[in-house]
Homo-oligomer: A and B are copies of this chain.
């Protein structure tokens, strides 16, 4: 759910800032609003119980004063800032690695268009098939790691319908009896076509054949890396510990932040406005921390719609 906002930040003025904040799709506001409402409701409920005369006796309220103050003070035990800072950095690094490995057919397409010669129909189809198989590999993999692509291609039939696979190929693919990495069967088809092209003299030198083979190999490696990233995520304990810490912190803040002590002393004149200050600040803190956490949640699962593999595929159909 990455939304492009470059133009908005291109002027570094206050107006750019306001524009940036007013965006809704993929924004902090959208990702935080529901939980913020929940937090505010619970906080208000506790405030009402605590500050009005309907629920607690004077003595109970005095106990509650100390209780919340104690809680407020101990909230610091939870090392939110560091956990989030380090965790987000790791997740961003991983996300950017994944982004490098998505697999682009462009360079290879250009090489194939140059090295695989022949202007007859058969040569054209040959070139097209090689690229189609590369795109097909990508689609097969993204179907398993991205919900959005899965929804677009729920079955192999839909892939055939989109013209990325042919019926005969689908059967051949289904007949392949591999338990792992079946994804890469189309790459093998690519390679066969290329070797054939070399034998027929459509590729005029071994060094050219080898160059294309290597590039497709790198493409495959990138996709394989995606599969691995999907297969071995960041150890479960890490996100659990971080996300739990954030939520527990604000759950306890509902009690702790009722306290209005100033340097350990209550303000001299009680005033109904005072409790609003810690509430306001805690709500802001909520927005910032939960927003920060959302960065991590978003990036940990980058294939929830980030990339549409159809881009390159469409391209490759028109190119050679």
Interface set of A (CB-CB < 8 Å, partner B): 1-6, 9-10, 12-14, 17, 20-21, 23, 25-28, 31, 34-35, 38, 59, 62-63, 66-67, 69-71, 73-75, 77-86, 88-90, 92, 94, 96, 99, 104, 106-107, 110-111, 113-115, 147, 177-181, 184, 187-188, 191-192, 194-195, 204-208, 210-211, 213-215, 217, 220-221, 224, 228, 230-241, 243-245, 247-248, 252, 260-265, 267-269, 271, 273-274, 277-278, 281-282, 284-285, 287-289, 291-292, 294-295, 297-301, 304, 306-307, 311-312, 314-315, 318-319
Q: Are A262 and B85 CB-contacts (below 8 A) given A211-B210, A239-B9, A315-B179?
A: no
Quick check: B70 and A262 within 8 Å, CB to CB?
yes
Interchain Cβ contacts under 8 Å between A and B, 23 examples? A14-B34, A17-B247, A21-B243, A59-B269, A66-B271, A67-B273, A69-B262, A70-B274, A79-B80, A82-B82, A83-B85, A85-B85, A89-B90, A114-B195, A178-B318, A180-B311, A188-B319, A206-B207, A206-B208, A238-B292, A245-B288, A262-B264, A264-B264
**Which residues of chain B come closer than 8 Å to A180, judged between CB atoms?**
311-312, 314-315
Q: What is the minimal beta-carbon distance from A267 to any residue of chain B, in angstroms?
A: 4
